[in-house]
Amino acid sequence: MTFWQIVVAVVLGLIANEVSDVSSWCAERVVRAAARLRYPDGERREVRLAELVGLIGTRPGKLFKLLTALIFLVAAMPAGVKRLAKSRRIVLPWKWSDRSVALLSGFGVLISLAGVVLSANIDRQAVVLRPPGFIGFALFFVVWGFTVKLVRRRRKRAYLKRRGDRPRT
């Protein structure tokens, strides 16, 4: 091993150790944000927050706690966006929808490429594709992006129909 390989290995080990120490603290903060997003009622929010923090506390491992908290946050986002849309009557424009589809598809491609890089067999200098993971990630994000676009298109048409405008085709 060269000097730089040893330095990189030590630095990456220290970073991983530090991230894992901070992740339990960060998981509690993320769960609090998820509870604020999901439950607007203060009393119900406090009850659910205590339950979620207890659940996070029972999870083994520090990074697993953080991943569980992030799942709670992602699950709470639709409720928060729906409440925001009702309170401010927000209608997302077409361009935002197109950008989101492109972003999600691009994100899927990046994750797929990361899967290819991680599954590469560097000792033999050969890249081995793992079809289920590679195709699965790409397919998930592409299908999810198109679903988001179709739902937004339907909502936009329904909104314009209520207003009396003619939707663009």
> Amino acid identity, residue 64?
F
pTM: 0.47
Separation CA 55–CA 50 (nearest Å): 9
3-state secondary structure of 124: coil
Q: What's the maximum distance between 2 C-alpha atoms anywhere in the chain?
A: 71
Q: What is the pLDDT along the chain (169 residues), one digit of tens a residue?
A: 788 888 888 888 877 776 777 788 888 899 998 898 888 888 888 999 999 999 888 888 777 888 888 888 888 887 777 776 666 655 555 444 555 555 555 565 565 555 555 555 444 455 454 555 555 555 555 555 555 556 667 777 777 777 776 655 5
Separation CA 67–CA 58 (nearest Å): 13
Residue range 21-65, pLDDT digits in tens = 778 888 889 999 889 888 888 888 899 999 999 988 888 877 788
